[in-house]
């Protein structure tokens, strides 16, 4: 087996930051899916449906729920979800996938990432990677997190805060 290249610590830190920020943002998406579908986020059963659902399916469900809210007249901030928040989530997902699903290595002193695809035809490429491109993905995830979090109404935010403090 070939040995794994020693990736510089600053790259490993940046890649780890993408993973941590993504997981946090995805949990916020899960909470919104539960809330928008009429579930109770304090009930364990509500989390079962979304725990292993792929992110593209979560995006489909979120879009459909936002549309249903619009039809019912109860949408509030969700009327702009598809035009404002959804594109940020898709951009964040694309960046996250680029970072997390790449194979990382060092060649001639340069950090590189490889991507491989076999959809219809085999595609394999090594590209030089920069810390900045990874940090841009982190920023993209943070922008999506802030945008979706802003859709929470004050009453729901308060109920989450109270549950976190254990005052149900």
Once rounded to an integer, what is the mean pLDDT over residues 48-63?
93
What are the pLDDT digits (tens) for 99-156? 999 999 998 899 999 988 888 998 888 999 999 999 999 999 999 999 999 988 777 7
Q: Cβ distance 113 to 107 under 8 Å?
A: no
pLDDT at 167 > cutoff 60: no
Residue 60: the pLDDT is: 96
What are the pLDDT digits (tens) for 117-132? 888 998 888 999 999 9
Ranges of each domain in the chain? 9-164
Q: What Cα–Cα distance (Å) separates residue 158 from each residue in 37, 72, 141, 154?
A: 19, 24, 24, 6
Once rounded to an integer, what is the mean pLDDT over residues 76-80?
80
∠ Cα 31 33 37 (to 5°): 120
Q: Which residues contact 156 (CB under 8 A, 6 or more apart)?
A: 35
Residue 160: the pLDDT is: 67
- Average per-residue pLDDT for the chain: 89
Residue 62: the pLDDT is: 94
Q: What percent of the chain has pLDDT over 90?
A: 57
């Amino acid at each position: 087996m070939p040995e794994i290249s020693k990736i510089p610590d600053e790259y490993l830190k940046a890649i780890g930051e993408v993973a941590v920020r993504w997981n946090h943002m995805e949990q916020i998406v899960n909470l919104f899916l539960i809330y928008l579908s009429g579930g109770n986020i304090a009930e364990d059963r509500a989390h079962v449906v979304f725990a292993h659902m792929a992110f593209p399916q979560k995006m489909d469900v979120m879009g459909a729920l936002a549309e249903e809210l619009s039809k019912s007249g109860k949408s509030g901030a969700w009327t702009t979800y598809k035009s404002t928040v959804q594109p940020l989530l898709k951009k964040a997902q694309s960046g996250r996938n680029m970072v997390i699903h790449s194979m990382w290595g060092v060649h001639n002193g340069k950090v590189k990432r490889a991507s491989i695809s076999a959809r219809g035809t085999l595609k394999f490429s090594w590209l030089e990677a920069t810390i900045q491109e990874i940090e841009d993905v982190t920023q993209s995830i943070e922008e999506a997190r802030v945008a979706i979090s802003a859709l929470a109404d004050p009453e729901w935010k308060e109920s989450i805060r109270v549950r976190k403090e254990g005052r149900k």
